[in-house]
Amino acid sequence: MVVSERHYRAFLDSRAGEGLRRSLLAVAAREARTILSGDRSYINFSSNDYLGLRFNETLIDRAAAWAEAWGVGSGASRLVTGNLDPFAPIEAKLARLKAKPASLVMASGFQTNAAALQAILDKAVLGAEPLVFADRLNHASMHFGCQAAGARQIRYRHCDAAHLGELLGRYRGDDRPKFILTESVFSMDGDVAPLGDIARLARAHEACLIVDDAHATGILGEGGSGLSSEADIAIGTFSKALGGFGGFVASSETVRDYLINRCAGVIYSTALPPPVLGAIDAALDIVPGMNAERAYVAGLAERFRAGARAAGWDTGLSTTQIVPIVLGTPEAAIAMSGRLRQAGLWASSIRPPTVPPGTARLRLAFTAAHQEADIDRLLEILAAKDASPRARAV
């Protein structure tokens, strides 16, 4: 065994000892509501396919047609020969949806945050190390981008605009470029940042506001536009409510041009493949007209929250289609996930370091593919005598 392998093995063993070791499980899906594992079908409460578009015929047909027409790969990065004709109309549609002057599509949402933030926070270009104010619970990909840029983050308390204001105040008069980074809907909590207050602070302190709109685009906001209208730069993904794959930045033309010239994720990575672009294009056509589905999903989430809270579960500050049940220890989260699985319901446990220590949870996500009876079944299992928080407290 090479020396490094011993260290990797020790890491894995220590993770296992804390109940935090992860592993991959093969599953299958034939439609958006359920997931197949082994020889059993489960109702899937752990999918980000909020509008059920993964299996939508319009998306599938266009993906297939574009594979036929353009091939299954794009052959090169966009700056070489991968910038196929479909990119320009897609980016125009996306800019319209996000109400921004321009947009730029690249690989996954993770890559977009990692690579675009590295470029946006580049101190060599900005002339000084930027002051980056960031919500404490921002997604790992945002931290990754800050780290890649060598930018120290000044963390404010989760969704706490007053704390952000206090921290900004400490740097009043400091003429280094300022940035505020936040998610709109937080991926593990389903709560929403106080974006109006944050945007006001951004303007007052001449800070650039960057909002990761991954879990709002398509499912929240006017016509599914998300919640980033007040952001200077919106980042997002096509892999959640838009059903497919890929990441994007919606911004000014200048920021778009800058990223084409400075963002490693654009310059050194092969352009998205045509079938993926076909699915994105079709999703952008139909998502603005899906108000009924958005209202339906909101109703399901509300039905679940009301039932779960009445039964004594801690659903945090969720107000969206994402609802956590905070259980505390990894063991408790794993046990509850297992109990639901026995009943034919799939809700993955989420453990540190994805969430802060002591807040291991189930993260439930409701989608247009679910039925009201699915929610009721979930509540029924959670209310079972030996499962409910009241029973456990006795």
Active site residues: 48, 139, 183, 187, 212, 215, 240
Site for ligand PLP (CB under 6 A): how many residues?
14
Q: Considering the complex, what minimum distance in angstroms separates the CB of residue 7 from ligand PLP?
A: 27
Stretch that binds ligand PLP, among 104-112, 164-172, 225-233, 312-320 (CB under 6 A): 104-112
381 near 345, Cβ under 8 Å?
Answer: yes
Whichever of 144 and 171 has its CB closer to ligand PLP, that residue is: 144
Whichever of 109 and 274 has its CB closer to ligand PLP, that residue is: 109
CB atoms within 10 A of CB 95: 19
| Binding string, residues 127-156; x marks residues near ligand PLP by CB under 6 A | ------------x-x---------------
Whichever of 185 and 369 has its CB closer to ligand PLP, that residue is: 185
Separation CA 45–CA 33 (nearest Å): 8
Q: Say whether residue 182 binds ligand PLP (CB under 6 A).
A: no
Report the DSSP pairing between strands 34-37 and 40-44.
antiparallel
Per-position DSSP letters for 10-39, written without gaps between them: HHHHHHHHTT--------B-SSSSEEEETT
Q: Which two tokens stand for residue 362?
A: 């189930």
**Dihedral sign of CA atoms 305, 306, 308, 312 in order:** positive
Whichever of 273 and 307 has its CB closer to ligand PLP, that residue is: 273
Matching residue, tokens 């969430």: 355
Choose, by CB under 6 A, the member of 47, 74, 113, 118 that binds ligand PLP: 113
Q: Say whether residue 183 binds ligand PLP (CB under 6 A).
A: yes
Stretch that binds ligand PLP, among 152-160, 212-220, 256-264, 299-307 (CB under 6 A): 212-220
Whichever of 113 and 153 has its CB closer to ligand PLP, that residue is: 113
Choose, by CB under 6 A, the member of 49, 212, 281, 293 that binds ligand PLP: 212
Q: Is 267 helix (H, G, I), strand (E, B) or coil?
A: helix
Whichever of 365 and 387 has its CB closer to ligand PLP, that residue is: 365
Choose, by CB under 6 A, the member of 110, 133, 313, 366 that binds ligand PLP: 110
Residues 154, 209, 219, 255, Cα dihedral to 10°: -120
Choose, by CB under 6 A, the member of 52, 86, 109, 307 that binds ligand PLP: 109
Q: Considering the complex, what minimum distance in angstroms separates the CB of residue 323 from ligand PLP?
A: 15
Q: Say whether residue 248 binds ligand PLP (CB under 6 A).
A: no
Residues 349, 352, 356, 359, Cα dihedral to 10°: 40
Q: Say whether residue 237 binds ligand PLP (CB under 6 A).
A: yes
Report the DSSP pairing between strands 153-156 and 322-328.
unpaired
In SS3 terms, 316-344 reads as: CCCCCCEEEEEEECHHHHHHHHHHHHHCC
Report the DSSP pairing between strands 233-237 and 207-212.
parallel
Using Cβ positions, the residue closest to ligand PLP within the complex turns out to be 109
Residues 9 to 38 in contact with ligand PLP, rule: CB under 6 A: none
Separation CA 83–CA 77 (nearest Å): 7
Q: Is 353 helix (H, G, I), strand (E, B) or coil?
A: coil
Whichever of 113 and 320 has its CB closer to ligand PLP, that residue is: 113
Stretch that binds ligand PLP, among 31-39, 93-101, 208-216, 369-377 (CB under 6 A): 208-216
Q: Considering the complex, what minimum distance in angstroms separates the CB of residue 6 from ligand PLP?
A: 31
271 near 82, Cβ under 8 Å?
Answer: yes
Q: Considering the complex, what minimum distance in angstroms separates the CB of residue 180 from ligand PLP?
A: 15
Q: Alpha helix (H) ranges present in the chain?
A: 3-17, 57-70, 87-98, 109-120, 123-126, 140-149, 161-170, 195-204, 253-262, 264-267, 274-286, 291-310, 330-342, 372-383, 389-393
Q: Say whether residue 239 binds ligand PLP (CB under 6 A).
A: yes
**Interface positions with ligand PLP (CB under 6 A):** 108-110, 113, 139, 141, 183, 187, 212, 214-215, 237, 239, 247
